[in-house]
């Protein structure tokens, strides 16, 4: 990704933050009239979707955009608050074990709000053995029934449940992006170093990697025990018992010993470019955010949300692999992909047809890779658990 594109992204995200009053992804619906924002860093444009009269502060922000950037305000059919209300109607009768049903009885696999204020985008489990024409008919029926129940326009599409995507001898001070041996002796990745409200050191990873018991590095050295966890957010915070944490993460291939500095965290917008950096497959950049607040059902039946999704733009690369779960998602605030990077979330799931990764590019052979990564946004993590990101 060209430096100038990421510089524009950083500038456009800053304007978007002012428009959304610096609210994290899952709180932006509280801004009256706000419907969504799509960042077009390639063309230096911020597309803002709004229902109703535009507040003077937003009008002024649009008018005062820096030279070379443009804020384009477009009318929206629904506000984010209206779509959020509809989304909650579908969540109300859903447990966190995957038994959420859409009107008509089809199990849903994802519930997303349109970033342009056009309504809900729903994924559902299709009937098996249907032809393409029959699938189209089924999608129309699901959309119509759900629209009637929720009161907003619905786009429905068949979508399988998102699949959990689970360097190799880390040590204190512990960094993110390292290989973990979980309490169940499986392979996962560490996320970002944090501090608990008490000031004690901690490390993020995915809750599906383990919510109880001790975590070790891949060579068996104790890191600590799971302290805070929310399966519905897919986040576990490990209490570091053995040493300290550092404000760095591993960046490069799965075998790297090189790290980069974490300077802080920020929220996500549709159109942003991000990198993943898990211990199984290493770093993958040029992933473009296409959805910021999905509720999904993982392949073990657990409901998780909010989830941000980003899809690869380089067809010769992947977004991440199994085993990268819990690992860092970052972006370059100055566009150089240099030493200082910004945290955006931790890896949770993969989406898209899984394929075998390129031989030699993963820590293990025959690991499954994905074209789209789903990650838990930093704002949700930090605000839910009251954590402070380690940047030292």
| Distance between CA atoms of residues 216 and 93, nearest Å | 38
Sequence-distant (≥ 6) Cβ neighbours of residue 290 within 8 angstroms: 270, 309, 310, 311, 372
Residue 94: is its pLDDT beyond 70?
no
Query: In the prediction, which pLDDT does 162 show?
Result: 74
SS3 state of residue 10 = helix
Query: In the prediction, which pLDDT does 167 show?
Result: 86
pLDDT mean across residues, the chain: 91
The percentage of residues in the chain with a pLDDT greater than 70, rounded to a whole number, is: 95
* Nearest in space to 244 (alpha carbons), one of 170, 171, 172, 169: 172
Residue 83: is its pLDDT beyond 70?
yes
Residue 378: is its pLDDT beyond 90?
yes
Residue 246: is its pLDDT beyond 50?
yes
Query: In the prediction, which pLDDT does 166 show?
Result: 44
Residue 286: is its pLDDT beyond 50?
yes
Residue 131: is its pLDDT beyond 80?
no
b (16+ CB within 10 A) / e for 336-363: ebeeebbbbbbbbbbbbebeebeeebbb
Q: What does the pLDDT look like over 49-76, one tens digit per residue?
A: 999 999 999 999 999 999 999 999 999 9
Q: Residue 278 — very low, low, confident or very high, per pLDDT cuts 50/70/90?
A: very high
Q: Do residues 381 and 233 touch, judged by C-beta distance below 8 A?
A: yes
Q: What does the pLDDT look like over 294-343, one tens digit per residue?
A: 999 888 888 999 999 999 998 888 999 999 999 999 999 988 888 899 99
Instruction: Work out the angle at residue 222's Cα, subtended by the Cα atoms of residues 216 and 227, and round it to the nearest 5 degrees.
Output: 80
Residue 263: is its pLDDT beyond 80?
yes
Give CA 74 to chain center in angstroms: 26
> Average of pLDDT values for 223-229?
97
pTM of the model: 0.83
Q: Residue 359 — very low, low, confident or very high, per pLDDT cuts 50/70/90?
A: confident
Residue 160: is its pLDDT beyond 70?
no
Sequence-distant (≥ 6) Cβ neighbours of residue 194 within 8 angstroms: 201, 202, 203, 204, 237, 245, 382, 387, 388, 389, 390
What would you measure as the largest C-alpha separation in the chain, in angstroms?
Answer: 59
Q: Residue 93 — very low, low, confident or very high, per pLDDT cuts 50/70/90?
A: low
Select the more confidently predicted residue: 136 or 70: 70
Residue 98: is its pLDDT beyond 50?
no
Indicate the DSSP class of residue 30: G
Backbone angles phi, psi at 380, to 5 degrees: -65, -45
* Nearest in space to 322 (alpha carbons), one of 373, 267, 275: 373
Other beta carbons within 10 angstroms of residue 313's beta carbon come to 13
Select the more confidently predicted residue: 197 or 366: 197
Query: In the prediction, which pLDDT does 364 show?
Result: 82
Residue 123: is its pLDDT beyond 90?
no
């Amino acid at each position: 990704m060209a430096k100038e594109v990421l510089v524009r992204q950083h500038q456009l995200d800053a304007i978007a933050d002012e428009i959304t009053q610096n609210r994290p992804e899952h709180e932006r619906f509280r801004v009256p009239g706000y419907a969504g924002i799509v960042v077009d860093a390639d063309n230096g444009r911020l597309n803002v979707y709004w229902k109703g009269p535009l507040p003077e502060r937003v009008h002024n922000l649009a008018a005062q955009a820096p030279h070379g950037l443009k804020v384009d305000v477009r009318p929206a059919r629904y506000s984010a608050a209206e779509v959020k209300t509809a989304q909650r109607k579908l969540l109300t009768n859903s447990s966190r074990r995957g038994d959420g049903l859409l009107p008509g009885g089809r199990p849903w696999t994802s519930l997303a709000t349109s970033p342009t204020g056009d309504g809900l985008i729903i994924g559902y489990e299709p009937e098996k053995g249907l032809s393409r024409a029959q699938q189209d008919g089924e999608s129309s029926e699901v959309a119509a029934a759900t629209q009637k129940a929720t009161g907003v326009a619905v786009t429905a599409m068949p979508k399988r449940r998102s699949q959990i995507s689970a360097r190799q001898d880390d040590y204190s001070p512990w960094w993110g992006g390292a290989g973990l041996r979980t309490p169940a002796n499986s392979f996962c990745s560490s996320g970002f170093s944090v501090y608990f409200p008490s000031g004690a050191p901690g490390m993020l990873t995915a809750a599906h990697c383990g919510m109880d018991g001790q975590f070790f590095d891949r060579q068996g050295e104790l890191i600590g025990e799971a302290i805070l966890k929310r399966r519905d957010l897919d986040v576990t915070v490990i209490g570091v018992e053995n040493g300290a944490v550092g404000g760095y993460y591993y960046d490069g291939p799965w075998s790297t010993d090189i790290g980069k500095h974490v300077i802080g965290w920020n929220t996500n917008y549709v159109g942003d470019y991000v990198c993943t950096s898990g211990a199984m497959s290493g770093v993958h950049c040029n992933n473009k955010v296409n959805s910021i607040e999905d509720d999904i059902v993982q392949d073990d039946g657990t409901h998780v949300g909010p989830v941000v999704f980003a899809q690869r733009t380089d067809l010769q690369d992947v977004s991440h692999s199994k085993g990268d779960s819990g690992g860092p998602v970052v972006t370059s605030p100055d566009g150089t992909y240099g030493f200082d990077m910004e945290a955006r979330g931790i890896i949770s799931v993969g989406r898209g047809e899984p394929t075998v990764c390129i031989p030699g590019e993963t820590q293990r052979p025959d690991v499954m890779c994905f074209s789209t990564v789903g990650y838990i946004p930093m704002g949700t993590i930090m605000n839910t658990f009251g954590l402070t990101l380690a940047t030292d």
